[in-house]
Structures are given as C-alpha cells and as structure tokens.
C-alpha cells in the first residue's frame, strides 16, 4: 500500500497502539482488514438531460460491537483508500466513547459545487439505492459528512423507506428535526471539540480565558468549535477554509464569521485581513484546531507548527511522522477519535430516539454528550499517564481494549 495513503496512516496508528498494549497478533491481523467495502457506479440524469456516471463507496470496517456507523461525504477526492481509513477511525472512535457501534464510512466522487439541488437529490437517491443491500438500522447507519447535510439524510431516509414500504427514521442520523433528528446534533461535533479542549486545559491547570486559538476549516465543526470556545473565554485569532484565511490578533466576532459562511458558503467575502489558507497551521497560538480534511500536518510541515496544543476536529489531520515531531516538541495532541466524537455520540442518541419514539430535550442531549465526553477523556488521560504514552496512543489503547474484549467473548466464526 502507498505509504502516503490515509489507510496506511490508520494502519500505522493501530500497529503503534497494539505494540504498546501487547495486543495479540491474531486480533491485530483481524483489525487491519475492513470487513466489507462496496464500490458502486451509477448514472444520474443532469438538469440539461445528459447522463453522468458517478462512483460511490461504502466501507463497513468492523461490526463486533454493533451495527456500523459513519458519515457519507461528497467530494472529488473520495476514494476506496479514504473511506477505509475513515471507517477504521470510526471503529476506534465508537469504542473509545463506549457506543454499541462499529465503524463505517461512505462517499461519492463528485464536486457538489457543480451540482444543482435537483442533481444532488437524484445522485443521493440513486447512491442510496445502490448501497441499500448493506444499509439498515441494525446493520449500517449513515450520517452527514463533508458536503452532505440534514437534507441529504432526509433523501436517504425517504429512499430507504420507499423500498421497505414503511417510514424508517432510524436508518440514518443527522436528519432534520421534523423527521426525528435530534436536538443539538448540528452543533454536537464542534461542541465536543470545545469541551475536550476545556478538559485538557483543566488537566494542565490552565485557564481558557484569553487563550489564543487558530481554526483550519471553518465549516460546521470548526465554526461551532470556535463559537463554543469563544463563549468559554478563548480568543479566536486565525481561521481558514478552502476559499482562504483570515487573521485578527484582537480576536474575531465568531457569530459574524458564521453568518458569512451561512450566507456565502465560505469565508471569502469576509471583510478582514487575509492570509494564505495554509498559514493558519503555523500561527503562534495556544490551540490549533485542524478541522478540514485528513493529512494536513505532515512530516514536512510539522516543524513549522507553533501551537502548544492541537485538538483534532477533522479525521486524520496529523500524519504519524508529524506526531513524532510534535511529541519531540512537547505539543499536546488530542486525537480525532477523542476530540471529534461529539457527533457520533449525539447520533447514537438520535438513533435511540428514533428506535423508541421517545425524544429528549436539548438540555438532556447536551448533558449526555458532555458526560460521555468527560468520562472518555478521563479514561484516556489516565491511560496516557499510566503507560507514559501520547494521548493518541492512549485513546487507541482504550478503544482497542474494548474491541478486544468483545472479540474474546464472541470468538472466531466458524
């Protein structure tokens, strides 16, 4: 496998943690391999009457702990390699926060910025139809990811329901509230990033008041992380998205940035001091939140990172060779499987609500989210100090211990 591939990175991280905890070679062999990956190609009629064929994927990595769970992304760079890595990370993430799920991920190779809403709907419904043999509330439950939204999930749910002959709100999460979506779901991942940052500051006996923060990827996750951190007293001084970067040493008015993105789908029109979008990674700040795509901090650019703390809002933003550089510099890196787990925690609550028909108020959802995050972070912090390993390795060990226990009880079929 190409050593630059994200699946290779995910495998390296697994192997490092497995060595640190003396995980059995047989189980490591099992956990290196995705259980199932489905590739589909399907035609979609465009608005002008022409037909385009699209390629889509769905990977179910490991279902030992329960049905697989994971997002669906629409992006030109979607590949089999990417969805395998993301599904693996979802597997560890669900185990880390002790949810009864395995990990999955899916996507379609496309550029959503060049598709109309009607084309997006037709693409979504056809993609859902093609992967439907492996979907279901007890087998695999999609959610929104890059360039997909609650509306996308509504189309997926409706398509699945048309084929089964009954409305099935539990087949996806991240739905609109009118269709059974959970209160607090949209903010959950960003809120979780902020809570985990707060917990780390507490462990380090530091105050968030006045702490400087840079956010790479000012989308849903990065935007809400910035919003909640600013409410906790932090100062957001640098932000970026695919359209460019902005800097304000005095701190941004985060709601203004969020309104700009809501109105224009990007930061580009914001009337502030501009900088190159990648420069946000190298600002001299207390906290860096990479919340864009994977493989952003690598061996070649890690020496330029000045942040003392990195809290990974995105999946897989830091390559293993960069981890070594950052560890040597004394940087605290809170890994993705811990930092951005708020979304899947509330997705689980949404699934439970849809399965039972009993719905929770937003305060209860947020309270359950915070409680699970705090408990999970405490377990990771203890493990890191007990074994004298990084927070990433500790998080993997906590997750793998839970997965290993399930595999021991279930045994090997046949």
Rounded alpha-carbon distances, angstroms, from residue 32 to 9, 80, 153: 11, 15, 30
Phi and psi at residue 366, to the nearest 5°: -65, -35
Rounded-to-integer distance, Cα 113 and Cα 134, Å: 28
Residue with tokens 């899916």: 106
Residue 138 is classified by DSSP as T
Both structure tokens of 290: 């990479």
Smallest CA-to-CA distance from 242 within 278, 270, 213 is with 278
Rounded-to-integer distance, Cα 324 and Cα 296, Å: 15
Both structure tokens of 198: 């707060």
Rounded-to-integer distance, Cα 220 and Cα 71, Å: 14
Smallest CA-to-CA distance from 274 within 239, 305, 301, 307 is with 239
Residue 318 is classified by DSSP as B
Rounded-to-integer distance, Cα 33 and Cα 232, Å: 41
Residue 181 is classified by DSSP as P
Residue 47 is classified by DSSP as T
Q: Is 105 a catalytic residue?
A: yes
- Judged by DSSP in three states, 406 sits in helix
Residue 273 is classified by DSSP as E
Smallest CA-to-CA distance from 53 within 66, 70, 40 is with 40
Name residues whose C-beta falls within 8 Å of residue 362's C-beta, 6 or more positions apart in sequence.
183, 184
Rounded-to-integer distance, Cα 126 and Cα 105, Å: 17
In this structure, the dihedral spanned by the alpha carbons of residues 140, 146, 147 and 148, taken in order and rounded to 10 degrees, is 20
Phi and psi at residue 250, to the nearest 5°: -85, -5
Catalytic hit among 3, 45, 93, 105? 105
Residues with catalytic function? 105
């Amino acid at each position: 496998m190409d050593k630059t591939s994200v699946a290779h990175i995910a495998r390296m991280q697994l192997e490092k943690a497995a060595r640190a905890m003396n995980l059995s070679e047989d189980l490591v062999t099992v956990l290196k391999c995705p259980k199932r990956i489905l590739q589909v190609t399907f035609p979609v009629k465009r608005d002008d009457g022409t037909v385009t064929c699209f390629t889509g994927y769905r990977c179910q990595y490991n279902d030992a702990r329960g049905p697989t769970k994971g997002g669906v992304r629409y992006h030109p760079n979607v590949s089999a390699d990417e969805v395998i890595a993301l599904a693996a990370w979802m597997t560890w993430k669900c185990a880390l926060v002790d949810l009864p799920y395995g990990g999955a991920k899916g996507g379609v190779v496309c550029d959503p910025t060049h598709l109309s809403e009607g084309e997006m709907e037709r693409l979504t419904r056809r993609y859902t139809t093609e992967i439907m043999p492996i979907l279901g509330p007890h087998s695999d439950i999609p959610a929104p990811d890059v360039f997909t939204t609650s509306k996308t999930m509504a189309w997926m749910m409706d398509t699945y329901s048309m084929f089964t002959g009954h409305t099935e709100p539990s087949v996806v999460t991240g739905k609109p509230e009118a269709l059974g979506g959970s209160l607090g779901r949209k903010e959950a991942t960003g809120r979780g990033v902020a809570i985990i940052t707060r917990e780390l500051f507490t462990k380090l006996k530091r105050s968030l008041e006045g702490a400087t923060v840079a956010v790479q990827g000012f989308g849903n996750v990065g935007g809400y992380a910035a919003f909640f951190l600013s409410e906790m007293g932090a100062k957001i001084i640098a932000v970026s998205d695919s359209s460019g970067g902005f800097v304000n040493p005095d701190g941004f008015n985060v709601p203004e940035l969020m309104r700009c993105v809501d109105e224009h789908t990007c930061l580009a029109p914001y009337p502030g001091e501009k900088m190159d979008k990648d420069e946000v990674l190298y600002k001299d700040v207390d906290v860096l939140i990479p919340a864009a795509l994977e493989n952003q901090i690598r061996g070649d650019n890690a020496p330029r990172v000045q942040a003392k703390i990195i809290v990974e809002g995105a999946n897989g933003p830091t390559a293993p060779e960069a981890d070594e550089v950052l560890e040597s510099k004394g940087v605290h890196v809170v890994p993705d499987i811990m930092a951005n787990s708020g979304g899947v925690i509330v997705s689980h609550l949404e699934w439970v609500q849809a399965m039972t028909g009993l719905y929770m108020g937003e305060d209860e959802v947020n309270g359950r989210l915070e409680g699970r995050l705090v408990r999970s972070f405490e377990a990771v912090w203890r493990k890191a100090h007990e074994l004298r390993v990084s927070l990433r390795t500790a998080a993997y060990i906590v997750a793998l211990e839970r997965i290993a226990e399930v595999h021991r009880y279930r045994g090997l079929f046949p």
